[in-house]
Amino acid sequence: MTTAVPRVVIAAPSSNAGKTSVTTGLIAALTARGLTVSPHKVGPDYIDPGYHGLAAGRPGRTLDPWLVGEDRIAPLFLHGARGADLAVVEGVMGLFDGASHPSVEPGFASTAHVAELLQAPVVLVVDAASQARSVAALVHGFATFDPGVRLGGVILNRVGTDRHEAILREALGTAGVPVVGAIRRLDQLHTPSRHLGLVPAAERSAEAVTTVARLGEVVADGVDLDAVLALARTAPPLDATPWDPADEVTPVPGRPRIAVAGGPAFTFGYAENAELLAAAGAEVVTVDPLRDDALPDGTAGLVIGGGFPEVYAAELSANETLRADVAALAARGAPIAAECAGLLYLARELDGVPMCGVLDVGTAMTPRLTLGYRAAVALSDSVLAPAGTRVRGHEFHRTHSDPVAGPAPAWQWSAAGPEGFVDDGVHASYLHLNWAGSPVVAERFVTACAETGALARSEPQHAHR
């Protein structure tokens, strides 16, 4: 089937050009006009979609060919854009910068790659702070580098003065790409960052809401929104069917209750993961390890995604009743899937502060950033996958675990050796997965939760380990 959704991709020549601020402001400005905007982000990032979602009032979703495959990009896009008047897609890094992995061609999973898969026009955000006429050469190069990418407009960011703007516009008059906006330097809109990038919107609460609203005002003042809308409407209908999690999994009887960690300490998670759990028959509930003193009644399984537990280590440790509840759940053999921050929370300690003690592992912050795409193979049978299963994920952290793997490791993705921990129902690893790329993971996990939940209900409490 063909589906028409007006859409535009916001890209840049490089990182740090202001893509996130411009994209978030654009979404906020269009939403303020009364439009329903579907926000998307190229790549595996969790943080930028949080700001997009805050601006749009609906979940920000990622589009990553590495994690989910090229054939799912258009369907996932259409799924996220259901009921929207238009979609705004923020790119990653520079327009043509993609995955650096020997298994794929250069440019794979780049902004340009996703723009081509979506047949979407591109608006290039150019940091004009340190250039004048040279901007025309830069834009001309990006417009002609790949004929499969349609560069439909330029937004000049960090413009100094009226004279500076006039010089830039005059130069770009010969580049063949219209200027659809010019935004002045506004240092007061700086978004706080930390060791993994921007501070997640969920952690900044009222401050984040104020920042997003101000970004919307700035973009509305400096960008020709009508021109952006007109460009978005030039995107042709997509010959694809919206992704439906119900088509990816078979519902499991029993409706097991699965708790998913949330709150400020655990903000990293893909919306599709929870949707697949629900489609596979689970009742999905949220638990905030900073505030809730127990798991929800009847919890049969637990999913703990990524985030910043190192920032909240003292508060997480102080919640002793929930830590004990998580440890008891693991002791009963209930399925627990933990990624990165989840691994840290299940560990014996984090930076010397006691955690749940489910894993006999010490973890700590390090100065080294570990990130990148990973092609992994499961080394042990687990509640997520049988041994030998191949998946694509990504790694993104500044912490270290000692040991890096247990007697039954979770994955291996390089010659460096095994990684992660599989222990009874527990699967803990630094590897992040979007389950839309491997839906069987969700079905297998819900099945395990249903089985152990039924067993727990049939046994007297004293029989639990």
In this structure, are 136 and 226 located in the same domain?
yes
Cis peptide bond N-terminal to 367, omega within 30: no
In this structure, are 344 and 393 located in the same domain?
yes
Identity of the amino acid at 314: A
In this structure, are 270 and 385 located in the same domain?
yes
Q: State the pLDDT at residue 381.
A: 98
Residue 305 and residue 34: Cα distance in Å, rounded?
Answer: 34
Q: State the pLDDT at residue 195.
A: 40
- Say what angle helices 19-32 and 201-222 make with each other, to 10 degrees: 70
The pLDDT tens digits for 300-355 are: 999 999 998 888 999 999 999 999 999 999 999 999 999 999 999 999 999 999 99
Q: How many domains does the chain have?
A: 2
Q: State the pLDDT at residue 400.
A: 94
Q: Which residues contact 340 (CB under 8 A, 6 or more apart)?
A: 268, 305, 306, 307, 395, 396, 397, 429, 430, 431, 432
Residue 4 and residue 181: Cα distance in Å, rounded?
Answer: 26
Number of H helices, E strands in the chain: 14, 23
Q: What pLDDT band is residue 454 in, cutting at 50, 70 and 90?
A: low
| Nearest of 10, 21, 352, 390 to residue 183 by alpha carbon | 21
The pLDDT tens digits for 342-401 are: 999 999 999 999 999 999 999 999 988 888 999 999 999 999 999 999 999 999 888 999
3-state secondary structure 243-291: CCHHHCCCCCCCCCEEEEECCCCCCECCHHHHHHHHHCCCEEEEECCCC
Q: Domain boundary at 239, 258, 274, which?
A: 239
* Structural domain for 313, as ranges: 245-463
Q: What pLDDT band is residue 78 in, cutting at 50, 70 and 90?
A: very high
Q: State the pLDDT at residue 46.
A: 87
Q: State the pLDDT at residue 434.
A: 98
CB 376 within 8 A of CB 351: no
The model's pTM is 0.93
Q: State the pLDDT at residue 196.
A: 38
User: Which one is catalytic: 151, 340, 405, 436?
Assistant: 340
More confident: 203 or 73: 73
Q: Give the CATH number of the domain where residue 389 resides.
A: 3.40.50.880
What average pLDDT does range 205-214 have in this prediction? 82
* Sign for the pseudo-dihedral over CA of 122, 128, 131, 133: positive
What average pLDDT does range 58-73 have in this prediction? 97
Q: Classify residue 129 by its DSSP letter.
A: T
Interior CA angle at 56 toward 44 and 217, to 5°? 110
Cβ burial 343-368 (10 Å sphere, 16+ → b, else e): bbbbbebbbeeebbbbbebbbbbeee
Q: State the pLDDT at residue 207.
A: 77
Q: Domain boundary at 239, 258, 285, which?
A: 239
Q: State the pLDDT at residue 211.
A: 86
Residue 148 and residue 75: Cα distance in Å, rounded?
Answer: 20
Q: Strands 418-419 and 421-423: what pairing? A: unpaired
In this structure, are 32 and 176 located in the same domain?
yes
Q: Give the CATH number of the domain where residue 216 resides.
A: 3.40.50.300
Residue 332 and residue 260: Cα distance in Å, rounded?
Answer: 18
Q: How far from 172 is each of 106, 112, 423, CA to CA, in Å? A: 29, 21, 60
Cβ burial 429-452 (10 Å sphere, 16+ → b, else e): bbbbbbbbbbbbbbbbbbbbbbbb
Q: Has 449 been annotated as catalytic?
A: no
Q: What pLDDT band is residue 416 in, cutting at 50, 70 and 90?
A: confident
Q: How far from 121 is each of 181, 217, 325, 361, CA to CA, in Å? A: 16, 24, 50, 48
pLDDT of residue 294 exceeding 70, the answer is yes
pLDDT of residue 203 exceeding 80, the answer is no
The pLDDT tens digits for 220-240 are: 999 999 999 999 999 999 999
In this structure, are 210 and 294 located in the same domain?
no
In this structure, are 202 and 230 located in the same domain?
yes
pLDDT of residue 427 exceeding 70, the answer is yes
Which residue reads 């537990």 in tokens? 309
In this structure, are 87 and 123 located in the same domain?
yes
Q: State the pLDDT at residue 462.
A: 39
283: its two tokens: 């009742």
In this structure, are 63 and 129 located in the same domain?
yes
In this structure, are 227 and 199 located in the same domain?
yes
End-to-end Cα separation, the chain, in angstroms: 52
414: how many CB neighbours lie within 10 A of its CB?
10
In this structure, are 171 and 129 located in the same domain?
yes
In this structure, are 200 and 321 located in the same domain?
no
| Nearest of 341, 303, 347 to residue 441 by alpha carbon | 303
In this structure, are 193 and 282 located in the same domain?
no
Q: How far from 12 is each of 22, 26, 94, 188, 199, CA to CA, in Å? A: 11, 15, 5, 22, 21
Interior CA angle at 43 toward 175 and 158, to 5°? 45
Residue 411 exposed, middle or buried by CB count within 10 Å (0-12, 13-18, 19+): buried
3-state secondary structure 318-353: HCHHHHHHHHHHHHCCCCEEEECHHHHHHCCEECCE
pLDDT of residue 152 exceeding 50, the answer is yes
Q: Domain boundary at 209, 239, 269, which?
A: 239
pLDDT of residue 192 exceeding 70, the answer is no
Interior CA angle at 122 toward 116 and 125, to 5°? 140
Q: State the pLDDT at residue 120.
A: 98
Residue 126 and residue 166: Cα distance in Å, rounded?
Answer: 15
What torsion do the CA atoms of 267, 271, 276, 277 make, to the nearest 10 degrees? 30
Residue 241 and residue 221: Cα distance in Å, rounded?
Answer: 37
Q: State the pLDDT at residue 460.
A: 47
Length of the chain: 465
